Structure 1
Amino acid sequence: MKIFSRILNTLLAIGILCTLIAAVGSAIAKEPVLLTVIRSNSMHPVWERGDMVIIKNLKENDTVQNGDIVFFKTEKGSLADKGWIAHRVVDGNADKGFITKGDANKTTDQQDGSGLIEREWIAGRAVTIGETPIVIPKIGYLSLWVEEYQSSPYTLPGIAVVLAIIIGIGELTSGQKKSRKKNNGMELQLIYIVAGLTIYVIMGATMLASGQKINLVYEVSNQSNGVLMGSAVGILKVGDEVSQPLAELNNGGFFKLIGTITTDDKQISVSHTNLLLAPGQNIETTFTVNAEKPGMYESSIQVGLFYPFLPSSFIYFLAQKSYWLALAVVSIVPGLPLIIYPIIDGKMRRRMMKLLGKKKRKIKSILTF
């Protein structure tokens, strides 16, 4: 029974770890990273819905060959609204575009109304041993289940709170003296620390997924304004002022959220910088470019949504320094009590220091030997 319990706990830990890697990596890169969950059966029997696949992210100069199973996101055609897709390359090249097909589909994506897949739309390909992709069966169902409830910004934090409650109950039920004496290792301390870090990662991933980074390319000229390829603003003449929509901030939960909008470009101003969003509230934001200094500019505007774990003025202060700093600090707040508890609790601290001392002496004896 103990062996079965350990195997079950190990599998559960692997599942949570894989889910966190997939969620956090994808949220940061805005594309599948390292691991990705399969959402359909279009590649059966290579893999099925709920499987998790190891992928290799491709650089611009990496080649794509016929037979590769690639992960792509189209910008036009019948697949434009399907998100990230994993299909096999059956023909084409990087210059003209690729023809793709799900192994379980009777026709290619292009026959179904999608245009050729451009090379820059392909983010990665499945890692294989020989010709067989590396697949972790069914372990991605946890991630799929979470995705079904992502419309509420409180789903993942709710899971984190439940996790903390479960750990707390486990500590209370295992608080008997006998079990405490038997537990002379660092297992309990590690449980607290890992639980706190898990909550930290979940909170950070949730807030990161709701944030946006808007890249803005524009030019300021002394002579005239005009159109600039790939730019929403274009070429502005010194003295011009252009305002455009930026982002819609919405709060679909039950509690207030804190929104911040920051940029390092002094020629860009925004309609809102630090705001509170009440439950169910939507706010349309805009930005304005005041053309003052000639030159070519590649700027960014960072939009963030944060849980109100800290005062809004302090969160905005951190966001002005760095969005990532604000994200890290706000995310750590709910998990911090669990992380520091083994240090605050006298018994745990003494036990941990005693064990660390033993480890240190053991390592020292090995090195001196």
Structure 2
Amino acid sequence: MKILSKVFNSVLILLIVSTLLAAVGSAITKEPVLLTVIRSDSMVPVWERGDMVVIRNVNEKDPVAIGDIVFFTTDKGSLADKGWIAHRIIAGEAEKGYVTQGDANKQTDQDSAASGLIPRDKIVAKALTIGQTPLVIPKVGYFSLWMEKYQGNPYLLPVFAIILAILIGIGELKQGKKRKKKSKGLELQLIYMIGGLVIAVILGGSMLASSQHIKLVYEVSETGNGALMGSAVGILQVGDVITQPLSELRNDGFIPSIGVITTDDRQIKVSHDKLFLSKGQFIEATYTLDAKQPGKYDTSIRVGVFYPFLPSSIIYFLAEKSYWLALTVISIIPGIPLMLYPFFDTKMRRQMVRVFRKRSRKLRASLPF
């Protein structure tokens, strides 16, 4: 029974960590990463709604073939607003596009006007298979689907993180009263570590979802101005100065937040580089572009919204170095007490030292030299 319990706990921890990594990776890349949850029954009996599928990401040079189950988006038809679609390729080629169909559907996506031909660059992943069988974890994605219903609720993620911390604390108090013998392993220490990591990932995902990455393409010319395809600014003449809307910063939650706007383009000045957003506050940020140096520019502007776990000046300093540095530091702060607690608790610290010494001796004894 103890072996089964350890196996179950190990699998559960692996699944939680994998799901968190997949969620963070998807938030960063805006594509499914590692694992993805199925939202429809269009591929029955291969998988069903609520199943979680293991995927392999592909780039434009990786081959896809007829029979592959691929993950793609489309700009045409009824599937255009459905996000990432997982259907099987049944015909087509990279140059002209692919014909796709759900195994449970009677028509192809193209015959049913659900989509046009799928361009190769719209395919970002394939279902990972053993032989011809996709790797599927049944029904574990229902929690994610349930969470999606409430993802617009600004109270959900912070409250969930607080509840998780409280549950871990209660569990430790109960175990502390019952525990008479010293544990031989590091299960409790791992619970603290993973609990702190989960809180960090939840809060980081919440802040990431509220932030924006704005691309600004423009050109500065010495001879004149004009239009530039795909650019809201176009071609400016040296000496031109324009001001345009950049982003709307809104705090719909009950926790105050700090907005930070950063860019490496020295020709651009933003109306607010850092600001405090109280509950219900709304601010419309603008940018001013002072065209001084001729050339073509592909500028990145990061609009970050962070929880106020650090002073705004420090958050802005970190964000100027790297948005991801600021996000990581601020996300991990609430989880640090849980992750460090095993090192401050005398019994757990001594237990870790004993375990590491024992395993170190075994490792040295197994070496042939």
- TM-score (ref. length: structure 1): 0.93
Runs of 4+, deviation exceeding 6 Å: none
What is aligned with 2:91? Answer: 91
Partner of 2:29: 29
Number of residue pairs matched by the alignment: 368
Query: In 2, distance between residues paired with 1:361 and 1:160?
Result: 39
Aligned to 2:328: 328
Structure 1 residue identity aligned to 2:16: I
- The aligned residue for residue 163 of structure 1 is 164
- 2:352 — aligned with what? 352
> Would the alpha carbon gap of residues 10 and 359 (structure 1) be closer, same or farther in structure 2, given more than 3 Å must change?
closer
Question: CA 1:301/1:23 → structure 2, altered by over 3 Å: closer, same or farther?
Answer: same
What is the match of residue 125 of structure 2? 124
Q: How many angstroms apart in 2 are the aligned matches of 1:246 and 1:112?
A: 39
Q: Which piece of structure 1 moves more, 261-270 or 57-66?
A: 57-66
Are the equivalent residues in 2 in contact too, given 1:56–1:124 (CA < 8 A)?
A: yes
Counterpart-to-counterpart distance in 2, 1:122 and 1:242:
38
1:150 aligns to what SS in structure 2? coil
How far off is 1:333 after superposition? 0.8
Which moves more between the two structures, 28-37 or 58-67? 58-67
CA distance change for structure 1 residues 271 and 77 in 2, over 3 Å: closer, same or farther? Answer: farther
Letter in 1 for 2:325: L
Tell me whether 1:186 sits opposite 2:172 in the alignment.
Answer: no
Alpha-carbon distance in structure 2 between the residues aligned to 1:99 and 1:252: 43
Residue aligned with 1:365, SS = helix
Q: CA deviation at 1:184?
A: 3.6
Offset at residue 331 of structure 1 (A): 0.6
Paired with 2:319 and 2:180, the residues of 1 have a C-alpha distance of 44
Residues in 1 aligned to 2:8 and 2:358: alpha-carbon distance in whole angstroms: 31
Which residue number corresponds to residue 145 of structure 1? 146
Give the gaps of 5 or more residues in structure 2: none
Report if aligned partners of 1:218, 1:298 keep a CA contact under 8 Å in 2.
yes
Report the Cα distance in structure 1 between the residues aligned to 2:9 and 2:186, rounded to whole angstroms. 17
Q: Which range moves more in the overlay, 6-15 or 97-106?
A: 6-15
Q: Which amino acid aligns with 1:343?
A: F
Query: In the alignment, which residue of structure 1 is the partner of 2:176?
Result: 175
Q: Which deviates more, 330-339 or 248-257?
A: 248-257
- Residues 363 and 18 (structure 1), Cα distance of their counterparts in 2 relative to 1, 3 Å cut: closer
Does structure 2 retain, via aligned residues, the 8 Å contact 1:15–1:139?
no
Aligned to 1:305: 305
Does the CA contact (< 8 Å) of 1:19 and 1:142 recur in 2? no
Structure 1 residue aligned with 2:61: 61
* Contact persistence 1:34–1:54 (CA under 8 A): yes
Alignment root-mean-square deviation, CA: 2.1
* SS class of match (1:75): coil
In structure 2, the CA distance between the partners of 1:24 and 1:44, relative to structure 1 (3 Å rule), is same
What SS does the corresponding residue of 1:334 show, helix, strand or coil? coil
Q: Give how far 1:152 is off.
A: 1.9
TM-score (norm. length: structure 2): 0.93
Contact 1:37–1:50, Cα closer than 8 Å, also in 2: yes
Q: Deviations over 1:102-134 (max 9, x none)?
A: 221222222333222222221111112222211
Alignment of 1:5-44 (within 5 A): 5-6=5-6, 8-44=8-44
Tell whether the 8 Å contact from 1:15 to 1:140 is kept in structure 2 after alignment. no
User: Cα deviations across residues 173-202 of structure 1 (Å, max 9, x unaligned)?
Assistant: 1113x7242314322222212211221222
Assess, with a 3 A threshold, how the Cα gap between structure 1 residues 23 and 271 changes in structure 2: closer, same or farther.
Answer: same
- Secondary structure at the counterpart of residue 335 of structure 2: helix
Could you list the per-position Cα deviations for residues 122-180 of structure 1 after superposition, in whole angstroms to 9, with x for gaps in the alignment?
1111112222211111111121122111112332232222222111111111113x724
Cα distance in 1 between the residues matched to 2:236 and 2:2: 70
Aligned to 2:116: 115
Offset of residue 223 of structure 1: 0.8
Higher mean C-alpha displacement, 323-332 vs 83-92: 83-92
